[in-house]
Amino acid sequence: MKQTFERVADLSDLPEGGLLGVEVDGRPLVLANVAGIVHALDGICTHMDAGLAEGSLFEECLMCPVHGGEFDVRTGEAITSPAVEPLGTHEVRVEAGGIFVAKPG
Ligand code: FES
């Protein structure tokens, strides 16, 4: 089946080093801009449901705002306790000044 993409934000809304919360099909995601590369991950921490768009980004490392668990935005891997379970990652395209994320299914 052909993958469909949804425009979720303008690229100008997400400066380098920034995080942005968006929704795709009602699911919260977080976008992270690492040196011009945009990554999209599940927006809710796998530890205890914190919104990761309120976290902080240092290079490829996304830190949860509640307990400081950290995730690699390239893979979703949990790299620092108390985060253990990985985040889902989502395919991203940047075209014509827009950020597009693959829709689930
Ligand atoms: S809620 Fe994110 S590390 Fe606890």
**SS3 sequence, 41-98?**
EECECCCCCCEHHHCEEECCEEECCCCCCEEECCCCCEEECCCCCCCCEECEEEECCE
Closest Cα to atom 1 of ligand 1: 48
Q: Which atom of ligand 1 is nearest to the CA of 69?
A: 3
CA quadruple 92, 38, 24, 76: dihedral positive or negative? Answer: positive
43 lines ligand 1 (CB under 6 A): no
50 lines ligand 1 (CB under 6 A): yes
pTM score: 0.95
Of 20, 74, 79, nearest to 46 by C-alpha is 79
State mean pLDDT over 19-37. 96
Within a 10 A sphere around the Cβ of 23, how many other Cβ atoms? 12
Structure-model confidence comparison of residues 60 and 2, the more confident one: 60
Fold of 5-102: Rieske Iron-sulfur Protein (2.102.10)
Q: What is the pLDDT of residue 43?
A: 98
Q: What is the pLDDT of residue 104?
A: 76
Q: What is the pLDDT of residue 1?
A: 64
Closest Cα to atom 4 of ligand 1: 67
Q: Using 50, 70 and 90 to split pLDDT, how confident is the model at 32? A: very high
Q: What is the pLDDT of residue 3?
A: 84
Task: Give the tens place of pLDDT for each residue, 44-98.
Answer: 999 999 999 999 999 999 999 999 999 999 999 999 999 999 999 999 999 999 9
Q: What is the pLDDT of residue 82?
A: 98
Strand partners, 51: 44
Q: Are 46 and 78 in contact (CB under 8 A)?
A: yes
